[in-house]
Amino acid sequence: MTVVVAVDAPRGARLASELRGEGLTVVAVVESDAAARTPRDVLPDGADVVVAQSSPRGLSRTLVEECRRRGFAVVVLGDDPSAARDAELLGLARPLPLDVEGWVIADALAHAAATFAAAPTPPARGNGVIAVWGPHGSPGRSTLAVELAAELRRSAARVALVDADTHAPALAVMLGLADEGPGFAAACRQVDLAELDDDELRRISVPIGAGAGLIDVLTGINRPGRWPELTHGRVTGALRACRRWADHVVVDVAASLETDEEIVSDLDGPRRNAATLGALQEADTIVAVLSADPVGVSRFLRAHAELRAAVGATRVVVVANRMRPGTLGMDARGQVRRTLERFAGIEDVWFVPLDPRSVDAAVLAARPVAETSPRSPLSAAVRRVVGEAVAPGVAAPAAPRMRRGTVGRRVTRTA
């Protein structure tokens, strides 16, 4: 049996020696962080088992999925409560202690190898985690996050709306909710205690709406200075718990994507943008919002490369928000489409029109536009975005008849 040891030195080298003494073939010893971040690059082909250390940030979903793709079994080592929780969520056996001796691993693999297999992850109840991101300049991230959640709930699914913005959280104010409640920060704290389950999420969330179409809102921090509470590990752990609890999880995140490791001396300290990066890396779909004007498009193009570097191959749905011809002249949609295709290689774009009357009415009522103005152009456009791009499998009522049939229509490259 061939083994890859993804455990930090010096423990990794010592464990590899112990496993060789038990008759196992160790083909590689790699750092746990490298295996968690880039498993495709560091894991050699032909291995049977990967012995992986759970990092303080949690067990890497990317690593487990890569092992599953290649047919490797996974043995998790970790003493942190989050390691057991992450292993359960990812369909793996309970972790062994980090200081376990090699003969224990060899004996477990010999007698119960199947229990360590990278079994399929329990399927998400819906479309999983949908992160709503956009560059600086208020392109309408929070408004679109609320409207996406409102449209997703039309299928009578349980929808969670999470405010993970550590720079300018806004969902509580937009929806008329108290920002002093527990919210998402409480969920993150419960992750450390291994006590975040469905009942706890139900207790700390605030439902809005009525009947079967409730949206369970986890409000954000009430002061930007509380950002250290939303660490990378806590955010990813909380979103994994939300994934089990709700059919769809819509997450509003901040614009900043830069990491600051090179400008601080404490490499293990908290990071201001860890919540955004953690949510984006945990997301199944990212809705990237840009403001459809020259400044907004320019900002989006500069930030899009950073987004792609941060999320890799995760599916990104691009939405041009506040679409209007006044700032772009004739064929405004065509100009946005051609610019995004030329400078970022983006071929598919969905458009949401500028609709100040409907948005103002929603803000005044502290409710989604889908409730206050269900026949508005904005609601129709968001409904089309959800039905065609974000969650195509979710049945939604047909869009009302529009005065102009192009509102919200997806534009693709033509030959």
Mapping DSSP onto H, E and C, the string for 108-161 reads HHHHHHHHHECCCCCCCCCCEEEEEECCCCCCCHHHHHHHHHHHHHHHCCCEEE
Burial of 269 (0-12, 13-18, 19+ CB in 10 A): exposed
Q: Is 397 exposed, middle or buried (0-12, 13-18, 19+ CB in 10 A)?
A: exposed
Euclidean distance between CA atoms 150 and 388, whole angstroms: 16
The Cα–Cα gap between 185 and 378 comes to: 31
Give the chain's domains with CATH numbers: 2-116 (3.40.50.2300), 128-390 (3.40.50.300)
Tell me the whole-structure pTM to 2 decimals: 0.68
Strand partners, 6: 30, 52
| pLDDT per residue as tens, the chain (415 positions) | 888 998 888 888 999 999 999 888 899 898 888 887 778 888 888 888 888 888 655 567 678 878 887 888 888 888 876 677 777 767 788 888 888 898 888 888 876 544 455 444 444 444 589 999 999 999 999 999 999 999 999 876 789 999 999 999 999 999 999 888 889 999 999 987 778 888 899 999 999 975 556 899 999 998 888 999 999 889 999 999 999 899 899 999 999 998 765 555 455 566 889 999 999 999 999 999 999 999 999 999 999 999 998 888 899 999 999 999 888 878 899 999 999 999 999 999 999 999 999 999 999 999 999 999 999 999 999 999 999 999 886 644 444 443 444 444 454 444 3
CB 109 within 8 A of CB 116: yes
* β pairing state of 215-218 and 206-208: antiparallel
- Cβ(78)–Cβ(53) under 8 Å? yes
Start-to-end CA span in the chain (Å): 52
DSSP 8-state assignment for residue 212: T
Q: Which of 373, 331, 370 is nearest to 351 (CA)?
A: 331
Q: Which amino acid is at 273?
A: N
Strand partners, 168: none
Query: Does residue 410 sit in helix, strand or coil?
Result: coil
Distance CA 361, CA 253 (A): 24
- Helical residues (DSSP H) of 266-330, grouped into ranges: 274-282, 294-311
- In terms of phi and psi (left: phi > 0; alpha: psi -120 to 50; beta: otherwise), the region of 183 is left
User: Measured at the alpha carbon of residue 382, what is the angle toward residues 377 and 385, in degrees to the nearest 5?
Assistant: 130
- Cα–Cα distance for residue pair 89/121, rounded to 1 Å: 7
Query: Length of the chain in residues, anyone?
Result: 415
